[in-house]
Amino acid sequence: DAGVTQSPTHLIKTRGQHVTLRCSPISGHKSVSWYQQVLGQGPQFIFQYYEKEERGRGNFPDRFSARQFPNYSSELNVNALLLGDSALYLCASSLVVGRYNEQFFGPGTRLTVL
């Protein structure tokens, strides 16, 4: 079975632009979470979606938005890019939302903002 897939692998944008990152969860998984990982730090939680509804949001500005589609894939959108948005964006899927639910991570999208 395919794992979590993310696209694109790498992306270079300039300040002020907009970016859309995509994630396909493991087949059968209904929950998707997004994380931002700045170089040298641990991941920071951005969003969690379950059954197409937002279940959690981290401490990120409104420039960050996301959605989940009926097939459980997800998009993360970032508007008005800043240099500080340069990071590895990780998507994780899990069967459901709840305690002890193991998350499976994709390889990430490396975003560079110039």
Partner 1 sequence: SQQGEEDPQALSIQEGENATMNCSYKTSINNLQWYRQNSGRGLVHLILIRSNEREKHSGRLRVTLDTSKKSSSLLITASRAADTASYFCATEKDSNYQLIWGAGTKLIIKP
Residues contributing to the site for partner 1 (CB under 8 A):
4, 33, 35, 37, 39-45, 48, 55-56, 58-59, 88, 90, 92, 97-108, 110
For residues 22 and 79, which CB has a smaller minimum distance to partner 1 in the complex?
22
Report how far residue 16's alpha carbon sits from residue 38's, in angstroms, rounded to the nearest whole number: 19
CA quadruple 25, 26, 27, 32: dihedral positive or negative? Answer: negative
Q: By the 8 A CB rule, do 46 and 37 touch? A: no
Shortest distance (Å) from residue 31 CB to partner 1: 9
| Residue where the block lists tokens 């459901």 | 96
| Residue where the block lists tokens 């209904």 | 30
Query: Cβ of 42: how many Cβ atoms within 10 Å?
Result: 7
For residues 37 and 73, which CB has a smaller minimum distance to partner 1 in the complex?
37
For residues 84 and 98, which CB has a smaller minimum distance to partner 1 in the complex?
98
Cα angle 52, 108, 22 (rounded to 5 degrees) comes to 40
Shortest distance (Å) from residue 56 CB to partner 1: 5
For residues 80 and 96, which CB has a smaller minimum distance to partner 1 in the complex?
96
Shortest distance (Å) from residue 93 CB to partner 1: 12
Shortest distance (Å) from residue 2 CB to partner 1: 13
